[in-house]
Structures are given as C-alpha cells and as structure tokens.
Amino acid sequence: MSEFFDVFKLPVYITKLNVDNDKLKKFCYQLRKKEKKVEYGSNVGGYHSPNIVKHFSVLSDLIIEAERHANIYIQNLDCSKSLKATNIWCNINGYKDSNIPHLHPKAFVSCVYYVQVPKNSGNIYFEHPAQNWMGDWTDGNVWKNFNNANSAEWTMISETSQLLLFPGWLRHGVNPHLNKKEDRICFSINFVVN
C-alpha cells in the first residue's frame, strides 16, 4: 500500500480578533509623532516603532487576545509549556514600503495583527526553511502548479483584524505597499516560553 506522509510541517495559525482597530490606529499614529522609528535591516521604508511598553491600556485587549491564541496555537502542537508576550511594536507602511525576509531569533512564537489593510497594501509571505537547498524544486517549469508541498515561498492574504501566529524562526517578509491613499498598519508581538 502506498501513501503520502508529511514528515515536517510549518504551522501557521490564522484567526480574526474583535478588538478596537480605530483606537489602535490612533495610537500608532500618535506613537509615530512622538517616537523616532527604529532602523532594522528588514524595513524598506515605513515606520517601525521602538518596543512598546506592555502596560499601555490601549494595547491590553490586543495583548490578552494574542497571548490567548498563541497558547491555543502551541497547545495544538503538543507543547507542554505556556507562552507570554515579551515585546510588541507597530509598523506603518506607506506607498512602496515593504519588509525584506527576516526572522525573530529570540522568539519562540511570533505574530502579526493587522489593524488596517487597504487594497494593494502588500501581503505577508513565508520562505521555506530549506529553500536554498531545494534546487529544481523551485523551478516553475517543473510543476503544473505550486502548492504547499513544492513551493519555496508561500504568500498569505493579509486582512484587517487578522492575527497570524508562526514560529519565530520562520523567515517572512512583506510585499511592497502599492496603495497611494492609505497606510498598512499592523502590530508584531513576540512570545517566549513562560
């Protein structure tokens, strides 16, 4: 008898949150006025805030919900520990801003929460950890269609109010923001084992 068996999986968790995005959006713009942006190697333009102190009451609903879902995520992976949020920051991408592939090396799990995602604002994509070794597997002339078994990169459609959780070691980037009228606004949160 023949069968396919997935030897390794790359788990990404997707859910929608019911938090006050208008309040979060206002907070991000106020933060951009007060705090100088942080220059990280992954940002191509845009605003990347410094680490935000978690006791800001405006962030409490987001952090509580993100932490709750982070623990659901790892419990479904048979993790014996719990997670706690360690740092949070916001990103505001304007026209042509993007993020090159990067990872979060000190995070057990990372997440992105989308406060505002206008049309054509760039989607998140994940790189297969073995993409540099995949050789002909990345050749578009070999496959009839790319799928999650033969792709070197996987793009996920970003949506307002969406929370994505993924391993901190999984390289990811954001395609260029091509909306000239509205910004793309999100928060990133890192979690460590509690």
Q: What is the pLDDT of residue 19?
A: 97
State the DSSP code for 168. T
Residue 2 lies in a domain: no
Q: What are the tens digits of pLDDT across the range 31-69?
A: 999 999 998 778 899 999 999 976 688 999 999 999 999
Residue 89 maps to which CATH number? 2.60.120.620
Report how many domains make up the chain: 1
Handedness of CA 86, 107, 41, 186 (dihedral sign): negative
Mean pLDDT value across the chain: 91
108: containing domain: 13-139+150-193
| Cross-strand pairs, 125 | 155, 173
CB burial of 150-186 (b: ≥16 within 10 Å; e: otherwise) equals ebeebebebebebbbbbbbebbbbbeebebeeebbbb
Residue 3 in any domain: the answer is no
- First-to-last alpha carbon distance for the chain, in angstroms, is 44
Contacts of 33 (CB under 8 A, 6+ apart): none
